[in-house]
Amino acid sequence: MFRLPILLWCITSLVSVVHATDMVVVHSNITQSFPKGKLLDKNTPITLPAEAEITVIFVSGAVKTVTGPYYGILTEPLSKQPVEPLDVNALAQFLAQRTGTVRGTSPLLQQKQQDIWWVDVYKHGRFYCVAPAAKVTLWRPDEQSQTASRLIIKRKSTDEQAEIEWPAYQTTLEWPLEELPVIYEETYSVMVKTRSSSSFRKVVLYQLPENLPTESHKVVWMVSRRCIGQAHMLLASLR
């Protein structure tokens, strides 16, 4: 007797959940009404006052920025080809948990580190993603590059290592592939030694697949590999 109403309620609830995952807010200057990580229904009109601005990512990975005054539904930009649906729920969770400053990543370092694929050898983060077919580039801040140093990299699983000089006044250095080829998803210890100090940390490298269709898909993939600082920087560039 009560099965039909319950079934209808379940279907309605399911439909509302599906609608709620049509897009997610990734940038906003009106955070009370549209905080980062808020899921939106493409069939529900939104209202933005003057000077308000939000950026959303759709399940296709398409990005759209809207400025107020605005009232209406958010139409998705046309995609040139079908793509695998983006997990906007995972992106929403990530943004909801990371609304503040990313731990271990200062705004100054983000500003200086122009290429998000560089591996920061002085930061606390362990996991780094590398663009497809790109060389692994190590990076250190200006204040750490005033003198020459020795770079020692060791692969944990085999104890193989490479040791090369990092010239003074040079903030980037390519991974020494000839001495120590990169094996992705392996753990490496990285030590930078000068006459007066040394820095030691462990890193794990991941290489993005070539078939990720949009920058938004790259962000979600990077989050799943815990490349958190890089995911934030790529997300910040999407408008």
Give span(s): CATH 2.60.40.10, the chain.
Answer: 107-207
* CB burial of residue 66 (10 Å; 0-12, 13-18, 19+): middle
> Which amino acid would we find at residue 111?
Q
Cβ atoms 109, 123 nearer than 8 A:
yes
Residues 56-110: tens digit of each pLDDT: 999 999 999 999 999 999 998 876 666 788 999 999 999 987 554 443 444 434 4
Average predicted confidence (pLDDT) for the chain: 84
Domain 107-207: CATH superfamily, name plus number: Immunoglobulins (2.60.40.10)
pTM: 0.81
Distance of alpha carbon 229 from alpha carbon 60, whole angstroms: 23
Residues 129-183: tens digit of each pLDDT: 999 878 899 999 888 888 999 999 999 999 999 999 999 999 999 999 999 999 9
Return the closest-CA partner of residue 70 out of 56, 58, 52, 57: 52
